[in-house]
Amino acid sequence: MKLRYYPLKEAAAHLIGYVGKVTKEELDKNPNLSEGNMIGKAGLEKAFDKELRGKDGGEILIVDERGNKKQEFQKAQKKDGEDIQLTIDYYIQLEAFKHLKGKAGSTVVMNPKEGGLYALVSSPSFDPNKMVQGISQQEYDQYVKDENKPFISRYAVGYAPGSTFKTITASIGLDAKVTYPDKPRNIKGLSWQKDGTWGGYSVTRVSDVQNVDMRKALIYSDNIYFAQEALEMGEKTFRNGLNQFIFGEELDLPIVMNPAQISKQNTFQSEILLADTAYGQEELMITPIQQATMYSVFQNEGTIVYPKLLDDKSERKTKSAITSSTANEMTKSLKAVVSDPNGTAHLLYNPTHQLAAKTGTAELKMKQGEKGNENSFLLAFDAEHDSFLLLSLVEHYTPGSSATQLNQSFIEELFLYFK
């Protein structure tokens, strides 16, 4: 019996999925299936099961003692399944997975001009070949009991995006003529609150830098600066800007995920919530795929390029979100986040490349002052030839395994690959 084999194994398990023998429940639901059929159980195998499976052929006839056909009663033509071509690049998918080193996380690599997804990786993973061949109960239980949940497709899970989102806040501020690249704010100390109505709550930052302008705020990743900018913009202007992006939209991808969310309610109902949203915290919920989509504005003169997974020559879908002058200003500032020795992404600096990047950390904690788990994010893109856009996430990261550190050599590989 021929079995499906998946050469990328764990590296593409969540995306491609796997096939398995049809169950009684599935037979009851679909009269076109018969016992012994193999059908798509997860991932794209499940999403495109009908197209991929094809149809068995056969005939019922009467033959004589020599085997010659005498009478035909019924004939069904065999129909092969369709070929489905993806935009996924085998090498990029494999390398993106390897560089996560088994940490809980995800990496999305996108063609920022056309929208084609080169890699959709989720880690840790599982071997889909075991699922096809018949996985033992012991091995299956091992996957299920793993606290890092290897069956979850993390590229389709919503997260607060952390400081990578400051790029969106800054863009909205620039277009609203509230934020300017060299507009300074005299911020003192590592914590700030608007006034006494905030009670015990304050916005904190990592570096005590005074006279912070937008460029410096991106280089040092200053939460207080962006909180103050959002408060000056006001909720209406800020939300109107956010609504130019893809919040609330269903993306045309064969992947199940909730639309990106600004907040649980239609209004923030508090200045604290507005301030915290500005630097990527609070109730923002954006999947890694959606984040990559939003950040495509910087390589496209302010236009969002929607992601695609099928290499079907269909026309790319776009949407204008910010002005081209703002997109170009942001790219310039994000290149400085890499090239400036104080930049949070300076680890990625290589004078032979034009890399733009923004790092992010989203802290998950129950109350102010306590130390919570942190998710680490990296947005990085080729600012010279626009050959790639990368968005990577590492859950609950520990020192030495931030998204920036894990992807440092991978980014070098991407530049070489697209040379």
Our answer to whether residue 163 is catalytic in this structure is: yes
SS3 at position 318: strand
Residues 6+ apart with CB under 8 A from 13: 6, 43, 125, 126, 127, 128
> Residue 211 — φ and ψ, nearest 5°?
50, 65
Whether 166 and 284 have beta carbons less than 8 Å apart is answered as no
Contacts of 14 (CB under 8 A, 6+ apart): 42, 43, 120, 122, 125, 151, 152, 153, 154, 155
Reported in sequence order, the residue ranges of 93-217 that DSSP labels E, i.e. its strands, are: 105-110, 117-123, 191-192, 203-204
Alpha carbon 294 to its chain's center: 10
Rounded to a whole number of angstroms, the CA Rg of the chain reads 25
CA nearest 374: which of 386, 388, 359, 391?
359
* Catalytic residue chosen out of the listed positions 163, 202, 221, 333: 163
Q: Which residues are catalytic?
A: 163
